């Protein structure tokens, strides 16, 4: 049996930008071991696996080394694949049943809107080990279920950051978000980068889950419900945010298919 695999660049309208994800719409469920092996073979930050059910799709996400409970860009990519490959009519929302509950994606012209859980952060002490691993002076450190959220003084600090990934792996968290206000003349409100060597990803190009943390944080700082964010990795990507408080945040991005292939070995 052959299995189609589609690679999508998410949170961008241009090929080879944003964050690449592989998407497999499975005809039947496969074992955790098989899905992990496929994710390792694809060697992207995330590979998504979907299985159709009566009221939507079961969706799971794997990095090359582990399964994760939430992934924004691979959810965006999955919705894009369902619509563009004819699995789902473009006027219907994509409903995903996941380890983070029900997630819904809706088509908004050339954008895809994701309904995700907000992730709240609490201020914590900045450890010397964290500053040493990042190699920069930290303005504020917060903690959430994803890891640390670190605010630094300026956008150029975020852009020029060169972490020590070996030291980052020794921290008691899986991920570190680094963020600041965007440049004064920028169209963006804030920028960020996300590092997760503990999950097998030194730097994730564009991270939906991180923006579930960043939305409440920057709304609190700026007092704005509508925000435009840029994740300043080498590939780069844009995220529209709508968050007016509460436990749900709406993230919007674009997506483009860049590759279509077949797995010739399937369990």
Q: Please provide the CATH number assigned to the domain covering 3-113+253-263.
A: 3.10.310.10
CA-derived radius of gyration, the chain: 18
From the candidates 46, 113, 151, 203, give the one annotated as an active-site residue.
46
| pLDDT tens digits along 74-105 | 999 999 999 999 999 999 999 999 999 999 99
| pLDDT tens digits along 110-160 | 999 999 999 999 999 999 999 999 999 999 999 999 999 999 999 999 999
- The per-residue pLDDT for 100 is 93
Fold held by 122-246? Diaminopimelate Epimerase; Chain A, domain 1 (3.10.310)
Tell me, yes or no, if the two domains 3-113+253-263 and 122-246 fold the same way.
yes
- Of 153, 165, 179, 176, nearest to 239 by C-alpha is 179
Assess whether 46 carries a catalytic annotation: yes
For residue 114 the two structure tokens come to: 């994701």
For residue 28 the two structure tokens come to: 């039947």
Q: How far apart are CA 26 and CA 74, in angstroms?
A: 15
- Of 58, 23, 29, nearest to 42 by C-alpha is 23
What single DSSP character describes residue 126? P
- The per-residue pLDDT for 1 is 57
Listed by start position, the domains of the chain span 3-113+253-263, 122-246
Give 265's contacts (C-beta < 8 A, 6+ positions apart).
none
Q: How far apart are CA 242 and CA 228, in angstroms?
A: 9
- Of 258, 211, 210, nearest to 13 by C-alpha is 258
Report residue 267's pLDDT band, with 50, 70 and 90 as the boundaries: low
Cβ–Cβ < 8 Å for 192, 231: yes
């Amino acid at each position: 049996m052959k299995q189609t695999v589609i690679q999508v660049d998410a949170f961008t309208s241009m090929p080879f930008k944003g964050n690449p994800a592989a998407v497999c719409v499975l005809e039947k469920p496969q074992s955790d071991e098989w899905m992990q092996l496929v994710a390792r073979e694809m060697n992207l930050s995330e590979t998504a696996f979907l299985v159709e059910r009566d009221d939507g799709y079961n969706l799971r996400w794997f990095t090359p080394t582990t399964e994760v409970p939430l992934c924004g860009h691979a959810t965006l990519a999955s919705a894009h694949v369902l619509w563009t490959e004819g699995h789902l009519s473009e006027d219907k929302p994509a409903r995903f049943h996941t380890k983070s509950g029900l997630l819904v994606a809706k088509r908004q012209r050339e954008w895809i809107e994701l309904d995700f859980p907000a992730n709240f952060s609490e201020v914590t002490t900045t450890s010397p080990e964290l500053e040493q691993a990042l190699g920069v002076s930290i303005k504020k450190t917060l903690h959430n279920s994803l890891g640390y959220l670190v605010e630094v003084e300026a956008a150029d600090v975020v852009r020029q950051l060169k972490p020590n990934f070996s030291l980052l792996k020794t921290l008691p968290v899986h991920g570190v978000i680094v963020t600041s206000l965007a440049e004064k003349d920028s169209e963006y409100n804030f920028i960020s980068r996300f590092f997760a060597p503990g999950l097998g990803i030194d730097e994730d190009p564009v991270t939906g889950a991180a923006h579930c943390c960043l939305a409440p944080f920057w709304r609190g700082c700026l007092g704005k419900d509508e925000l435009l964010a840029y994740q300043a990795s080498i590939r780069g990507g844009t995220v529209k945010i709508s968050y007016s408080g509460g436990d749900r945040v709406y993230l919007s991005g674009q997506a483009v298919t860049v590759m279509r292939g077949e797995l010739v070995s399937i369990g």
